[in-house]
Homo-oligomer: A and B are copies of this chain.
């Protein structure tokens, strides 16, 4: 089973990297670009066929290693 985990900064946490991307895009002439936020995406191959178990394991992984839950939130997507 393949899984995709998104780790992004919580709303309200400053994101200088996103700001820099937004400024650069505006500078290149993309005037329609407003706020930009950058995060991480992690694609995992899991040797697990039970979706419920996979989701539980991924939640553990996010809490323990993948996300800093003080400032980051995560989303899990199974495919």
Contacts and interface: CB of A to CB of B under 8 A. Distances in A.
A42 B66 contact: no
B40 A44 contact: no
Chain A contact patch, size range: 20 to 34
Interface string A13-43: 0000010011011001011111111111111
A76 interface: no
Interface of A: 6, 8, 18, 21-22, 24-25, 28, 30-48, 54, 57, 60-61, 64-66
A18 B65 CA distance: 13
Contacts of A38: 40-43
A21 B64 contact: no
